[in-house]
Structure 1
Amino acid sequence: MELTQLRYFIRLAEVLNFTEASKQLFITQSTLSQSIRQTESELGTPLFERIGKKVYLTDAGQAFLPYARQSIIETETGIQKLRDMQQIYKGELRIGVIYSLCPMLAESIVRFSKEYPGIKLILTQSTSINDMTTMLHNNEVDFALAYKLDALSSLTEKIDLCPDPLCVIVHRRSPLASQQKISIQALTHYPLALLKSGSYTRNVIENVASRSGISLQPMAEINDTNLLLQMVRTGDWISVLSQHSVDNQPDLKAVPLKEKGGEMHVYLFQLKGRYKKLVTRKFIEIIQKVMSRNNLIQA
């Protein structure tokens, strides 16, 4: 059985739609159907059940899926090991990152791309921290950048990159920009825009406010950090985000909160026991250097 057949099977198993799977694989639907029939013939059992326009995995398909994924992972690992042995910097580096950490990643990406131009970087953003571990376990990313997970899987390991405390984000021209620190209470007097309820950052904000006896009533709730920053950039809004959310944003300033309890940390998550390809280790070295230097400057 060829690896291409396994890749086609895995993609169809993930989307359960022949049209969508063929589009994502950049092949015709007939090519996909033929490959699936060949795979089923070789295995001697149906992998999918077709009821009308619906597609379902059979019990055999569900049982085979993790083995198919593992076969792809082991093959890719073997290829990467050989490349590392030969110091061949080619291929892909897949990074998962939550939206609010994208600004802090920019400098590391620029430095890495200059040092390793043969590596294609693939960044996947998400608003959910827990989605990052799912992507890791599905081999969709090589590592993920996020804040602390509610429950860290025993199969996941983390590297503490840097502190990233909550700050009030204001425009450089704002009168608040001259403050050394700003209290939660003071936020109630300004047009406030926050991330939507349920996000990790919002939960930390609410906990800090609750301990101070404050109930924040934002005038806007958004699930996009970049849009929040654009609103603050107008000078008419303020927000509360992580300190690193304004990295490389010279027209914005992060003013620390007076209250304690808003301390967050940025972690790099990987799967335990999985081979760490050389380019992954090189990127980690770069981001650790960038974060260490930036924290020294901000201190």
Structure 2
Amino acid sequence: MDLRQLEYFVAVAEEANFTRAADRVHITQSGVSAQIRQFERELGADLFDRSARMVRLTPAGAAALPHARAALAAAQAIRHACDEVNGLVRGRLKLGMITGCNVTPLFDALATFHRRYPRIEIALAEDNSDVLVESVRAGACDIALVGSAGGPPDGLRSLTILSEGLVAAVPPEHPLAEHESVPLRRLSAYPLICLPVGTGIRSVLDQACTAAGMRPAVALQATAPGAVADLAARGLGVAILSASMAADHDGLRAVPIEGVEIPALLALVWRKEENTVLRALLPHCRHAFGLA
């Protein structure tokens, strides 16, 4: 008796058909039949009644089936346990990331993770934060780097990377550049350049404006913070960014915005049900972001 025979036995029992079972286990129908016959000889009992068009379990087969399933599950559990102990994690990591977000520590984490677990395939998808959060909830992404307003998304585990306020980023010659801060209401006098709806920064701005009873005058929007900053540097409007985003652009003056109580968060989010691959990745992320 071996695991292959148990697998074929369970397949035939569940499909009630030798041909469909053969397709399921990817061998010929004659190969499945031969292995089942050998298994029956070893057990000294017929497992299937083959007299009708549909293959049926005999009483001996029905008694054996739950034990066969348990043996296959135990074998799989042994493999998973040994993989984790030996660090031989296999699988696929599906990672989501905000479009145009260049977060070096995340790339560092992926690099060290790949060196430690070279057998794991890494897939990367970019989108806005709202879409990424739903992808994580649906299981399409294992983990995602997202922006959010005020706090991490409900129902998910999270690791907050940054929590900071909004700034108005303007060229040195702009009227706002000489101020230490700017009231939110004063921004209504200028065309704004923002990230699109569905991003954390935009959610913070929209919520703050709603709370203040005003509507932001968004003239332009771009999916990448760098593009928002470049448009502002050319005098096309006031860029609304987080403090760290604005700090990446030497040609702009970052002026804190008064009256925005909601922080802009950058966070890694994942479902509560952690798989083996995700558990292996998280320590690398915490270390890379200095949160270990």
- For the aligned pair, the TM-score class normalised by the smaller chain equals 0.5 to 0.7
Residues 198-242 of structure 1 deviation map (CA, whole Å, 9 limit, x = unaligned): 655334213322433433222224455443233123244322123
Matched with 2:255 is 255
TM-score of the two chains, using structure 2 as the length reference = 0.57
Q: How far did residue 163 of structure 1 move?
A: 0.7
Residue type at the aligned position of 1:152: D
Matched with 1:232 is 232
Segment drifting more, 139-148 vs 172-181: 172-181
Matched with 1:26 is none
Residues 169-214 of structure 1 deviation map (CA, whole Å, 9 limit, x = unaligned): 2346656445332222332343322234565533421332243343
Residue type at the aligned position of 2:107: I
How much is the aligned-residue C-alpha RMSD, in angstroms? Answer: 4.2
Matched with 2:123 is 122
Distance 1:109 1:252, change over 3 A: farther
Residue type at the aligned position of 1:286: H
Considering only CA atoms, is the larger Rg found in Structure 1 or Structure 2?
2
Matched with 1:285 is 286
Q: Residue 106 of structure 1: which of 94, 104, 107 is its match?
A: 104
Distance 1:127 1:213, change over 3 A: same
Provide the C-alpha distance between the structure 2 equivalents of 1:285 and 1:262, rounded to a whole number of angstroms.
25
Q: How far did residue 259 of structure 1 move?
A: 1.1
Provide the C-alpha distance between the structure 2 equivalents of 1:273 and 1:198, rounded to a whole number of angstroms.
25
Residues 143-180 of structure 1 deviation map (CA, whole Å, 9 limit, x = unaligned): 11222589623xx3223333132221234665644533
Distance 1:176 1:283, change over 3 A: farther
Q: What number of residue pairs does the alignment pair up?
A: 219
Aligned partner of residue 183 in structure 2, secondary structure: coil
Q: How far did residue 121 of structure 1 move?
A: 4.8
Matched with 1:140 is 140
Provide the C-alpha distance between the structure 1 equivalents of 2:96 and 2:190, rounded to a whole number of angstroms.
34
TM-score of the two chains, using structure 1 as the length reference = 0.56
* Paired residues of 1:173 and 1:235 also in contact (CA < 8 A): no
Indicate the percent of aligned positions where both proteins have the same amino acid.
Answer: 16
Provide the C-alpha distance between the structure 2 equivalents of 1:281 and 1:90, rounded to a whole number of angstroms.
16
Matched with 1:58 is none
* Paired residues of 2:99 and 2:127 also in contact (CA < 8 A): yes
* Paired residues of 1:165 and 1:262 also in contact (CA < 8 A): yes
Matched with 1:183 is 183
Residue type at the aligned position of 2:274: R
Distance 1:80 1:186, change over 3 A: farther
Provide the C-alpha distance between the structure 1 equivalents of 2:230 and 2:94, rounded to a whole number of angstroms.
27
Aligned runs of 1:153-232 on 2, under 5 Å?
153=155, 156-171=156-171, 174=174, 176-197=176-197, 199-232=199-232
Matched with 1:57 is none
Distance 1:217 1:170, change over 3 A: same
Structure 1 residues without counterparts, runs of 5 or longer:
1-36, 43-74, 293-299
Residue type at the aligned position of 1:217: A
Provide the C-alpha distance between the structure 1 equivalents of 2:197 and 2:187, rounded to a whole number of angstroms.
17
Q: Residue 152 of structure 1: which of 151, 154, 157 is its match?
A: 154
Structure 2 residues without counterparts, runs of 5 or longer:
1-21, 28-74
